[in-house]
Each structure stands twice: as structure tokens, then as C-alpha cells.
Amino acid sequence: MNSTQKSWLHWQLLALIAGVYALSFFLPAVSIPMRLGPTTVDGKVVDPGGKLLPPMRLSGVDAFRMAVETGMAPLSRAGVAWFANPVIWLGVMLLALRKNVLAGLAGLLAVGLIVVTYVLEELDSGDKAAHHVGFWLWFSSAALLSVVGFALWLRDRMAREPSAPGAG
């Protein structure tokens, strides 16, 4: 593979990651269960609430906007998951700069943030959010970033190493 082909492949893979990430914003990402809170009149609880309401269904962009507008606490589960976004952005920039191993590490960190949040959500005994295709595409963009970063790093490393004697 010549250098022009390598460069073209690099940019195609970068576009694939960015496209998957962007697509995740426009598809349903999560349905958040909602419960009616207690109703108080003059400081006295007249209805304990607790009634389950229809879940709030958010697209990727709605979930992103909600996280930004509500200023999610950085150490909340949703806050930890949201921090995968700037890590993905950083990884894409590193990949564009051909810092492939750092891009792969950024992708791995983003995957870790998402997985930890997902596992904690599943272990919670309360009402659970339902994850939809937008969430899984978002997760896939982080996983793709990691795989592509490490694969391109490995390809470049193997290309620099001299071939073994007698190898064809």
C-alpha cells in the first residue's frame, strides 16, 4: 500500500468514526423512567406520588443538550458518561494529527467511561433507563476510535520494521 492509499484510508476511517458519532445524535438514544413526585399543600404531603409516568424518550442530541443545560454533576453516572464526548472529540483530533496510539487510548478511555456508567445503571435496583440505537451508535463510535487508532498504529509500526530475511 503506497502512502497516498494509506492517507486515503486514514481519512476514510476518520470520516466513518465521525459519521457514526454524528448519526447517534439524530436517533433515539435513551428512555428515562419518570415517577410522579410527592404533592404538597401548605407543606403537608397530600399525595405521596411514586406513580410511574411514561418514560421520557430522548434522541442523542436531546440527551446531550439536557446534560449541558442541567449542568450534570461530574461524578454522577450521567455526568461520567457525558465526559466520553470530549474524550471522543480529543481522540478524533489526535487521529487527524496521526497520533494513532493516543487516539486509540482516547477511544479506550471513552469506552471505559460508557461501560462503567452502563454497568452501574444495570446494577441499580431502581428504575432503569432503556438504551436505544443512538446510544449504541455513540458507544460504537468510541469503540471504532479505539480499534482504528490501535490498528493504524500497528500498521505503521509494522511498515517501519524491516522484514525478516528470506520473507517474501
What does pLDDT average to over the chain?
84
pLDDT tens digits, residue range 96-150? 999 999 999 999 999 999 998 888 877 876 777 888 999 999 999 999 999 999 9
Alpha-carbon span 15 to 99, nearest angstrom: 16
Which of 26-35, 120-129, 147-156 bottoms out in mean pLDDT, i.e. has the lowest? 120-129
- At residue 65, the pLDDT reads 84
Backbone angles phi, psi at 85, to 5 degrees: -60, -55
| Alpha-helix runs per DSSP H in 43-132 | 60-70, 77-82, 84-96, 100-123
- At residue 168, the pLDDT reads 47
